[in-house]
Amino acid sequence: MKKTFVLDTNVLLHNSSCIEAFADNTVVIPMAVIEELDKFKGNNDELGRNARQVIRSLDRLRKQGRLGEGVSMANGGVLRIFIEHPAPTIADLDATVTDNKIIRVALQLKQGGERVIFVSKDINARIKSDALGIETMDFEKQKVNFDELFTGFRLARLPREQLDAFERAGRLALPGLETAPNEFIVLTDEQNPQRALVARVRPGNVLAPLSPRANGAWNIKPRSKEQRMALELLFDEKISLVTLVGQAGTGKTLLALAAGLDLTVKAKRYDKMLVSRPIMPLGKDIGFLPGDKESKLMNWMQPIFDNLAFLLRDGSDVKHPVREKIERLQREHVVELEALTYIRGRSIPRQYVIIDEAQNLTPHEIKTIVSRSGDGTKMVLTGDPSQIDNPYLDSNSNGLSYAVERLKDSPLHGHVTLMQSERSTLAALAADRL
């Protein structure tokens, strides 16, 4: 028996091509969803663009027949726009609420004998639908298993003789070991587990020691093996995209900024360092805050300023406070802070780009940002998928987790999951127990 998938508005706004993701089954879009899309179509953010894309897709299908009766799609499925007639009466389910109108469509189709599955990214809508006996699911196409997310490194226990040989020769071949490009291997001594060496996978599945460059950046030193791995990737010019995942205080943003300053200010490898982060959940604009663009950015970029202040504070230059140093770098266009809202449509060549808090972006938004990368540009995505502000994303469906899993086999990509909080003993305790 073929299935009938009833789509909530948030699914279409999350992924504008989702109507083609249900194989040869029937996709039903309630009229209430069309009305909601109409409210979003004028927005200049990602939601508005997705709404317009869905509306254009429906308009193309309309030319093939009446959408109210169902129109065949290229994948063999059928798309149908459904109007309630008459709607089922359900106690305690307010018929004036849009979510309830959509759920009532699913219930009406189910009562008509169809195998209905209600698809929504809204947890409350899924709870209500399930309580009414309707088969319910999240949109699964762009999801990964966060509990099994690629960490970028693994452990390997070896005999002491092999570790000695690795230290002497600076290389070690492990032909039977299946690894990803740029993955790290922590080699431990079978006889002495306290002895551990960090190696990086090179072409030909050969292990090599980390570069001395990974021993520090902009006057800071790595405090853990994972931080050394991160610096190894950040300084490697052959890697165009680095993803860093970790809880608060693990040093993701600080390491990315330190390497960026080193490569931009000292080494002159890049023309500028561009730093950005999602301004608000769902990509809302910053126009509601008072002041000009720079004043508005101050509120949202304060964590970046805090990290830059830490890196630029050396205690020797009393005439030029840290704030002046940051402002000077901005005036000279060496460091640029930008809202994600303004990155779409740009081409970004020869720049070191940091996207902080990337866990609040959808997979499509990550694709949009990374595709802005021009010749000679390096992109760094940092974030903590366990702390998501976007109400329609979780640790499995956010763009950062999705990018890590989908790109792990590419030699242009490197990833490290930072495990240990280094901010302070109290921060480490909070991250671990609270």
255 phi, psi to nearest 5 deg: -65, -40
The span from the CA of 384 to the CA of 365, in Å, is 17
207, containing H or E segment: strand 206-209
Does the pLDDT at position 300 exceed 50? yes
Q: Which of 29-38, 159-168, 235-244 has the lowest mean pLDDT?
A: 159-168
Q: Domains of the chain (ranges plus CATH)?
A: 3-137 (3.40.50.1010), 227-433 (3.40.50.300)
Residues 6 or more apart whose Cβ sits within 8 Å of residue 178: none
CB 373 within 8 A of CB 379: yes
Altogether, the residues listed in the chain come to a count of 434
Half-sphere exposure at residue 194, Cβ-oriented, CA atoms within 13 angstroms: 0
Half-sphere exposure at residue 184, Cβ-oriented, CA atoms within 13 angstroms: 26
Q: Which of 106-110, 285-289, 409-413 has the lowest mean pLDDT?
A: 285-289
Half-sphere exposure at residue 266, Cβ-oriented, CA atoms within 13 angstroms: 10
Q: Give the full edge-to-edge strand order of the sheet including 78-82.
A: 71-72, 78-82, 26-30, 3-7, 115-119, 135-137
Q: Give the closest residue to 48 by CA, choosing from 56, 36, 40.
A: 40
Residue 86's pLDDT is what? 65
Band of pLDDT at residue 395, cut at 50, 70 and 90: very high
How many C-beta neighbours within 10 Å does residue 298 have? 13
Query: Which of 160-164, 282-286, 428-432 holds the top average pLDDT?
Result: 160-164
Residue 380's pLDDT is what? 97
Residue 126's pLDDT is what? 95
Tell me what the mean pLDDT of segment 80-87 comes to: 78
CB 205 within 8 A of CB 174: yes
Tell me what the mean pLDDT of segment 155-174 comes to: 90
- Both tokens of 253, joined, read 């943003």
Give this prediction's pTM: 0.83
Residue 252's pLDDT is what? 95
Band of pLDDT at residue 292, cut at 50, 70 and 90: low
Q: What pLDDT, in 10s, does the model give residues 254-280?
A: 999 999 999 999 999 999 999 998 865
Residue 296's pLDDT is what? 63
Band of pLDDT at residue 411, cut at 50, 70 and 90: very high
Query: Which of 98-102, 178-182, 227-231 holds the top average pLDDT?
Result: 227-231
CB 403 within 8 A of CB 240: no
Does the pLDDT at position 111 exceed 60? yes
Residues 6 or more apart whose Cβ sits within 8 Å of residue 149: 245, 385, 401, 404, 405, 417
